Amino acid sequence: MCGIVGYIGPKQAVPILVSGLKRLEYRGYDSAGVAVLDGASLETRRGAGKITNLEGALAANLLTGKVGIAHTRWATHGPPTERNAHPHRSTDETIAVVHNGIIENADLLRRQLTALGHTFRSDTDTETIAHLIQELYEESLEEAVIAALRKVEGTFGIAVVSSRDPEKIVAARQGSPLLIGVGDGEYFLASDASAILAHTRNVVYLDDGDLCVLTPDGYRVMDIHSTPIRRSVERIEWDLAAIERGGYDHFMLKEIFEQPQTVENAMRGRLILEDGTSKLGGLNMSHDELLNIDNVIITACGTSWHSALIGEMMIEEIARIPTEVEYASEFRYRNPIVTPRTLCIVISQSGETADTLAAMREAKRRGARTLGLVNVVGSTIAREDDGGIYLHAGPEIGVASTKAFTSQVVALALFALKLGRQRTLSVIVGREIAEAMAELPKQIQSILDSAPLIEKIAETYKDSQNFLYLGRGYNFPAALEGALKLKEISYIHAEGYPAAEMKHGPIALIDESMPVVFVAPHDAVFEKIVSNIQEVRARHGKTIVITSQDEPALEGLIDHEIRVPHTIDMLTPILASIPLQLLAYYTALKRGANVDQPRNLAKSVTVE
């Protein structure tokens, strides 16, 4: 979602801030701005739209100074206009604030501050923070920020500068990620490590309730009562090249083609072929604790929810443990049945998804043990869960998740395999599963080699207004994920359904203009889905069928066939998802859409 960058040190701040904002473009935004201190002078520049508009404003009216904060905004309160872009300033223009999150009592604060003589210039909730800090300012900037935050309700990651305390940046976190970058005589602030990786690999992750003060001489971390807190410095191990396109036209295409390697990385050192099991060192659960699990709840959002549906079937089939999938956004607003013998698996690529994090905290509050599946080391979920499985997919920049999805499914398969072998799954069946998993990287590569065929199909249907995606069993979630990918980046309306449910409504939509994508590898329910393909053909629908072998029953029923290698049923969604990702990518590309930054979407959703 919104991005924050800050700098204090011996260099000019603007080039560092702008380059940092560009590294955060993938998170999704609709306006951008900077605030810079040059001695006692505080200046801001803002622009609606892309960062290039901000650069134009800076070129027309240059800013100098060695202390500054910057922001990319994704609109919540008020439209994406220049007046609503961050940073926001106080009435006396001595304070500038950038903010990620939502201030829930902003309307009340606005009325109170207006009555005290403050003048508001935007529609945002964020502006209330700037005026509140001005109103409460007495001795130092950090004391004013602490006093203001005691009156604020909601979530925030904020950074504040003031001409009244010009060699200082004050930042605070409550529900929205922030980290400090520790350089050589210079210090950085960011909502995402990618913004500052060109300058330092040493970071300090802030926890909820932390407030930090950055000066040219160092940094301090404290709580809202001004009590000092010690936070360790951690080193980022991945390279800057991981967040570059590397010769690909888009990050999404690069990440699709990285999947043979990322799937292998997810399994490396974990898959034990001889014993037909897996070794997962980060679970922090003993053999007996794993055996004592009575039920599993998996909670997630979006693409991660689709991987959770596949994980549910895996765990129930091979470990025989009752498993339920919950939308994280709904989990904490009902009264779920959770006991100390419940394992709650939370899945989030970023490890910062607000709804998923809140669901995990609710599960912990109710006594469940929590297991996080995340891709970002040092993320909030990774720090707060009881145990975890890192995906090792590397940074995912494209907003539409691809490689993280397949890595999530692999991680769930590894976990299900471990649980199954500890219970009733035989070593023979365990080996069959492990050997099939070991084949996945080269099987994925063989699908990627057929990308030109999929591009031709995309050309045929790029002007379609609607798509239907159908699958059964393990491949129903794959159909959901394929539909989500298409609508996310091409803006074509697409729906995923269990194939048998087509007769209960969606069949009314099918005519000669409706493309229907069937995920139909040769699995246990293949014969059932053939009848669904026949129903579509009888109504002149166009059929795009993902299948795994020659099959006489399909003769004359397929307009376009995409062949994937054969594998065991539980792994078919991994292979099927690759052509679905490519179909979405090429369709969006041919429609002229911004593949990596689809409209209205953000990579990391850090507000409820």
Q: Is the peptide bond before 177 cis (omega within 30 degrees of 0)?
A: no
DSSP string, 384-416: HSSEEEE-------SSS-SHHHHHHHHHHHHHH
Token representation of residue 586: 């090429």
Q: Cite the DSSP H helix spans in 423-552.
A: 427-438, 440-448, 451-461, 475-490, 526-538
Q: How many CB atoms lie within 10 A of CB 600?
A: 10
Active-site residue, 11 included: no
Partner residues linked to 27 by β-bridges = none
Active-site pick, 2, 212, 301, 344 = 2
268, 314, 599 from 320: Cα distances, Å: 26, 9, 42
Hunting for tokens 């223009």 — which residue is that? 93
DSSP string, 122-143: SS-STHHHHHHHHHH-SS-HHH
Active-site pick, 66, 168, 254, 603 = 603
As a whole number of angstroms, the distance between CA 137 and CA 124 comes to 21
Residues ≥6 apart with Cβ < 8 Å to 117: 91
**What is the separation, in whole angstroms, between the first and last Cα of the chain?**
12
Running DSSP on this structure, what letter comes out for residue 366?
Answer: T
Active-site residue, 442 included: no
Q: Is 430 exposed, middle or buried, given 0-12, 13-18 or 19+ CB atoms closer than 10 A? A: buried
How far out from the chain centre does Cα 435 lie?
A: 30
> With helix as H, strand as E and coil as C, how does 51-91 read?
HHHHHHHHHHCCCCCCEEEEEEECCCCCCCCHHHCCCEECC
Residues ≥6 apart with Cβ < 8 Å to 417: 276, 277, 278, 318, 425, 430, 433, 434, 437
CA dihedral 146, 148, 149, 155 (to 10 degrees): -140
Closest to 402 in 3D by CA, of 593, 133, 585: 585
Closest to 44 in 3D by CA, of 30, 29, 28, 57: 57
Running DSSP on this structure, what letter comes out for residue 597?
Answer: S
Q: Between β-strands 88-89 and 95-103, what pairing exists: parallel, antiparallel or unpaired?
A: antiparallel
CA dihedral 272, 276, 282, 285 (to 10 degrees): -140
Closest to 19 in 3D by CA, of 75, 56, 70, 60: 70
As a whole number of angstroms, the distance between CA 448 and CA 431 comes to 27
Q: Which residues are identified as catalytic? A: 2, 603
